[in-house]
Structure 1
Amino acid sequence: MAPPFDDRQHDRSSEPLPDSIQLLRSLVRAVDSLASDFDVVELCQQLLEACTEVTGASDAGLLLADQRGELQVLASTNESVRLLGLLQHQGPSLHAYRNKTAASIPDLRADADRWPEFAPAASAAGYRSAYAVPLRLHRDSVGALTILATSAAALGQLDLRIGQLLADIAAVGIAQHVLLAQGATIQAQLPTALNTRVTIEQAKGVLAERGDRDMDRAFQVMRGHARATGRRLSDIAGDIVEGRIDLRADAAD
């Protein structure tokens, strides 16, 4: 495993950002959404998509710690069962969360002994390298952003800095979403965001079963409907679960 990434030791602020326009657009959208009644899952989806587009990675997932300190998936670039299961493995995400610093696995095959659960599963899924950065909020870590690539040593230090920047924005967005009670601690309110994900998972299952499509297609149908109607993804998911809307025709397309 490569040494933990440290901003202080790798100051490359003068180096031009790759795909800087795309990154800036993503940051502007994220900051703009925080000024209104925003959808926390959609915000995280946009940040993950920006992460893979700018770094060239294949997939990414954002995991949030629950009240027991266990990481749960809040958002991912792909809703396949295989990817969601992989993100839950004890791997770099847990390391980043617990140690509040980045973790790198430049070659999953070479580091299989060091990551006995995660590395074989990630390799079997077609990935060659994996990285994770903590979701930092003040001095706390509330989760992790995991980045996966199909080539070895795919991300450099600059890519990790970009990932950390996007993770920090996600952490701020999550905090704003969950701090509902005055004086409440962030850790006490984190289940609010995770409950949103539970509803989305239920709705995915309903659409996948009724439309005879996979979970990723079901998620994209929900997300598309939320964007088209200007409603929260969590509200759309709740309506599907409660039977108030029927998107079976869209899911079957």
Structure 2
Amino acid sequence: MLYRRTAQVFVELADTLVAGFDVIDFLQSLAERAVEIFDVDAAGIVLADPRGTLTLVAASSEEVRLLELFQLQEEEGACLDCYRSGTLVTCADLSAAPPKWPMFAAAARELGFSAVHAFPLRLRDQVLGAIGLFNAAPGGLSQDTVTVAQALADVATIGILNERTLREHQMVTEQLHFALNSRVLLEQAKGMLAERAQIEVGEAFAALRKYARDHNRTLSSVARELIDNRSGMTDLITAARRPAG
């Protein structure tokens, strides 16, 4: 079952690897599919900018989004160690986490997570970031799961770099800048839509994503128009509002 579902996801993700694909939407799909495939409770993805500073770019739940932001702020945690080492970092029981993670382990448990496994987004000696898998219950991953999870991380890396960016470093830099800047826009737009439509932030993100897909648009372009308060966005706000009653 693991390999059958994984094959389906690989095909789905491969369909997005075309010129001009939406990096943020691709990585968000990857995080969501990782939860489905590996039967974990949450997944988050962080990317590094050209200076090596990590930024959250995708999260399957609000809890993991908060945890990933916390570890980036406090500069401790599994994804940071994974990015720095370029190797798998795993902790099957965060109640016995490494001493160097006191704040991360406490925050993770407070948010309902007891285990974490981080896989590098790596191509040869180039590490772009990490994907973290989180579980509410303590426990390790099987070797099969580790193998498939790293393969999925490799697909993400290829999706970010793609064949053209492999040949031109400048294109890699520009695409990573675009992905990180797009995420900042998206966070602003989520908060704005949530306030205007009187909904939760998670619902606002879902509405933005649905609107972008329904109108064959990128998330970043929709977010920019919403932030700029363009008149065409009133239908998005109306659609996002909860039905009365």
**TM-score when normalising by structure 1:** 0.85
CA distance in 2, matches of 1:126, 1:199: 28
Q: Residue 115 of structure 1 aligns with which residue?
A: 101
Match of 2:57 among 66, 71, 74: 74
- What letter is aligned with 1:234? S
CA distance in 1, matches of 2:145, 2:41: 13
How do 1:42-53 residues align onto structure 2 when only pairs under 5 Å count?
Answer: 42-53=25-36
Compare relative contact order (CA 8 Å, sep 6+) and give the higher one, 1 or 2: 1
How do 1:114-153 residues align onto structure 2 when only pairs under 5 Å count?
Answer: 114-153=100-139
- What letter is aligned with 1:250? A
Given that 2:87 and 2:120 are in contact with CA atoms closer than 8 Å, whether structure 1 keeps it comes out as: yes
Q: Residue 39 of structure 1 aligns with which residue?
A: 22
CA distance in 2, matches of 1:122, 1:219: 23
Residues 1:84 and 2:70 are matched in the alignment: no
CA distance in 1, matches of 2:42, 2:12: 21
1:84-108 residue CA offsets vs partner (Å, 9 max, x unmatched): 2311302110111011100001001
Q: Residue 249 of structure 1 aligns with which residue?
A: 238
1:116-160 residue CA offsets vs partner (Å, 9 max, x unmatched): 121100000011100101100232101000111111115222222
Given that 1:22 and 1:50 are in contact with CA atoms closer than 8 Å, whether structure 2 keeps it comes out as: no
Given that 1:142 and 1:187 are in contact with CA atoms closer than 8 Å, whether structure 2 keeps it comes out as: no
Shift of 1:25: 1.5
CA distance in 2, matches of 1:239, 1:177: 31
- The number of residues matched between the two structures is 234
- Cα RMSD over matched residues? 2.2
Q: Residue 222 of structure 2 aligns with which residue?
A: 236
CA distance in 2, matches of 1:178, 1:215: 35
Gaps of 5+ in 1: 1-17
CA distance in 2, matches of 1:67, 1:56: 33
How do 1:1-253 residues align onto structure 2 when only pairs under 5 Å count?
Answer: 18-78=1-61, 80=62, 82-88=63-69, 89=71, 90-111=76-97, 113-176=99-162, 179=165, 182-184=168-170, 186-187=172-173, 190-244=176-230, 245-246=233-234, 247-253=236-242
CA pair 68-182 structure 1, distance change in 2 beyond 3 A? closer
Shift of 1:192: 1.9
Gaps of 5+ in 2: none
CA distance in 1, matches of 2:163, 2:181: 12
Q: Residue 10 of structure 1 aligns with which residue?
A: none
More helix by share: 2
